[in-house]
Structure 1
Amino acid sequence: MNRLEELKKHLKRGQVYRRDDLAKWSKSVDRLLDALVEEDTLQKLSQGLYYYPKLSAFGKTPPEEEVLIRSFLKDDRFLLTSPSSYNSLGVGTTQLYNERTVYNHKRHGEFKLGNRKFSFRMKPHFPSKVTKEFLIVDLLNNLESLAEDPAEVLKNVALKVRTMDTRKLKRDVSKYGNAKTKKILAPLLESPIKQNAS
């Protein structure tokens, strides 16, 4: 069995590999990687990042975002979201954004992985999953970068907050809100109407 076939034995479909992951199986990993890309076994996603595609009835499938980001960061502590997620809150945002935001502890900046763009933002704290409380805080943190009219969104947020779990929202504002967001939400969370709401 030649070295190329030997390396292929270690590959699993649907997995994303860093060059370093594969170097432990071959001393001439760069030459073998070039050959695997050339024969279309692996797809190069970015510098030092490769994907072994799963096959479906429609051909090769792209990597799952979570798998892709976990390999890119070499870390599973991240939160994947998008400004389009704000639309689920019902506060007047309707734009669809062709971008994904990755809150993480390691990388900052815009990165293209395969044919997808990701905005990596380093944050000391973020939740393990997206909740509506976090989305409200995140929306206000990023309000100025959105296409919608901020005044209209703020008016709708004030109404939405009255229907939400005060305790959870206060916790998320405290953990994840920037100074401006805390200032906006503080009076809404102290409102007596809010305290009586379920």
Structure 2
Amino acid sequence: MLTADKFRNKLRKGKVYRRADLTQWSASIDRHLSRLVEAGVLKKLARGLYYVPKPSAFGPVPPHEKEVINIYLKGDDFLLVSPNYYNGLGLGTTQLYNRTRIYNHKKHGDVQLGNRVYEFRRKPKFPKKLSREYLVIDLLNNLKYLAEDEQIILENLKRSFAAFDSQALHAYAQQYGIGRTKKIVRLIFI
């Protein structure tokens, strides 16, 4: 096993680590981790989850969200969706939300990683990549949870239906939509 200095040299800037992954480099992992956190070399995201901040002119840069979630879930089978993405659809949504939703097959519930709260939702199926049409379906699935006027959003969706691929919307609605979403898509995109 390596000493604390050699252990420190194994760490890469901007990378996220699990405690279990670091045990190969140290016999006294907890002592080394606590010393490196105190020294500012490591930052603790959650229990057993650490990252090495990347220095920049504006201060330390946290790791990318996707990398944190990838390490936390021990895999890349997830879809990151923020209600803020709805604002780019041009449907009249303007609110900014402080939460990010992660659709996955493993975890469910709210988890704080660093200074962000992530809303993990266990879903049986979700697309591998985010598309505008899937965002519309996700918006309709979560419409009652948004701080927006539902009627205005639905009217804007009716007016701008030409901006979306109706075949993809129907397919996504059938595959990922709740009952209300399927009905809305059927009525709007006939």
TM-score, length-normalised on structure 2?
0.93
Q: What is the identity, as a one-letter code, of the residue corresponding to 1:77?
A: D
Judge conservation of contact 2:169–2:185 (CA < 8 Å) in 1. Answer: no
Q: What is the identity, as a one-letter code, of the residue corresponding to 1:11?
A: L
Q: CA deviation at 1:160?
A: 2.4
Choose 97-106 or 134-143, whichever is displaced more.
97-106
- The within-5 A match list for 1:37-76 is 37-76=37-76
- The within-5 A match list for 1:119-198 is 119-189=119-189, 191=190
Aligned length: 190
Distance 2:55 2:147 in 1: 38
Q: CA deviation at 1:2?
A: 5.7
Structure 1 counterpart of 2:109: 109
The C-alpha deviation readout for 1:110-155, integer Å capped at 9, x for no partner, is: 1111111211111121222221100110000000001111122112
Distance 2:12 2:94 in 1: 39
SS at match of 2:71: helix
Q: 1:159 to 1:165 in 2, by over 3 A?
A: same
Judge conservation of contact 2:2–2:26 (CA < 8 Å) in 1. Answer: no
Q: What is the identity, as a one-letter code, of the residue corresponding to 1:185?
A: V
Are 2:117 and 1:85 aligned?
no
Structure 1 counterpart of 2:13: 13
Distance 1:53 1:114 in 2: 12
- Consecutive unaligned residues of structure 1, counting only runs of 5 or more, are 192-198
Identity of aligned residues (%): 49
Distance 1:41 1:163 in 2: 48
Q: CA deviation at 1:88?
A: 1.1
Q: What is the identity, as a one-letter code, of the residue corresponding to 2:84?
A: S
RMSD: 1.6
Q: What is the identity, as a one-letter code, of the residue corresponding to 2:92?
A: G
SS at match of 2:55: strand
Q: What is the identity, as a one-letter code, of the residue corresponding to 2:119?
A: S
Q: CA deviation at 1:78?
A: 1.3
SS at match of 2:27: coil
Choose 94-103 or 162-171, whichever is displaced more.
162-171
Q: CA deviation at 1:30?
A: 1.2
TM-score, length-normalised on structure 1?
0.90
Q: What is the identity, as a one-letter code, of the residue corresponding to 1:169?
A: L
- Consecutive unaligned residues of structure 2, counting only runs of 5 or more, are none
